[in-house]
Amino acid sequence: MTEAKARPHRLVDDLKVAVLFSTRLPLVHATQVEGGDIARASWAMPVAGALVGGLGAAVYWLIYALGFEPLICATLAIAATLGVTGGLHEDGLADTADGFGGGATAERKLEIMRDSRIGTYGACALVLSILLRVASLAALAEPAVVAPALIAAHVAGRATLPIFMRLTPSARADGLSAGAGRPTLANAIIAGLIGAGTLALALSVTGAAISVVVLAAALVCMVWLSMRQIGGQTGDVVGALEQVGESLVLLVATVV
């Protein structure tokens, strides 16, 4: 197969990997995802995010059409996104909060982050994340406003992940992040452009600009924090960054 013919197949494979990794959606003719596949397909993570956000927006629209109040619609929309992802990034947020908050040394923090049990820091982080997202959607209220904001939040929240993985070394020699490898510079740039482009289409000019600034600030802060806390990044920290980014975009959408 020539390079020109192989390229579309690689793009489709990358999209499959991104969806399989990011969601619980079954795909026809899907292959098993291996570590290196994640880094190669990292540019497509924002595309998978658009699918997750779109499903959440559809649920919001349906419940709203049935006559329910925005708070109920928002709660069920967030529940739908949790269901389709299996709480992948929420799990990372909880583990990161527990590890960073409860460990005295880098080794102990990493040990806590591998523990499947949830602690006080993790529980509080999860509650705050879900409350912020539900409250933001309820404040936006109208489905025509909620839908683009929710899709943009999921796209942009995932767009920072390849950049973060590119900038921050793995804190472990094993584990999901170490196995995934380091995304290429091109993949990181493509993901960032997809995220910025979606924000520009979904939000106002001011909202998109502010979102890019706060996402960049969150990215820099997470790089600094993860290096200071555990000497690098793990899959849990990557998930935590997605949650932060998703919440920030929705918060910005409520005020601009």
pLDDT of residue 5: 46
Phi and psi, residue 16, nearest 5°: -60, -45
Neighbours of 220 (CB within 10 A): 12
Q: What is the pTM of this model?
A: 0.93
Tell me the pLDDT tens digit for each residue of 28-46: 656 666 667 888 999 999 9
Instruction: Report the number of secondary-structure helices (H) and strands (E) in the chain.
Output: 12, 0
**70-125, pLDDT tens digit by residue?**
999 999 999 999 999 999 999 999 999 999 999 899 999 999 999 989 999 999 99
pLDDT digits (tens, 9 = 90+) for 240-252: 999 999 999 999 9
* CA dist., res. 155 & res. 90, Å (int): 16
- Of 130, 124, 115, which Cα lies nearest the Cα of 97? 124
Lookup: tokens for 187: 């993949």
Encoding tokens for residue 176? 């999901």
CA–CA dist 227, 168 (Å, integer): 8
H-state helical runs in 87-204: 88-102, 106-114, 120-140, 143-167, 176-180, 185-202
Rg (alpha carbons) of the chain, rounded to whole number: 18
Q: What average pLDDT does the segment 160-177 reach?
A: 88
**Gap between the Cα atoms of 46 and 230, Å rounded:** 26
First-to-final CA distance of the chain: 50
Residues near 175 by beta carbon (within 8 Å), at least 6 away in sequence: 234, 235
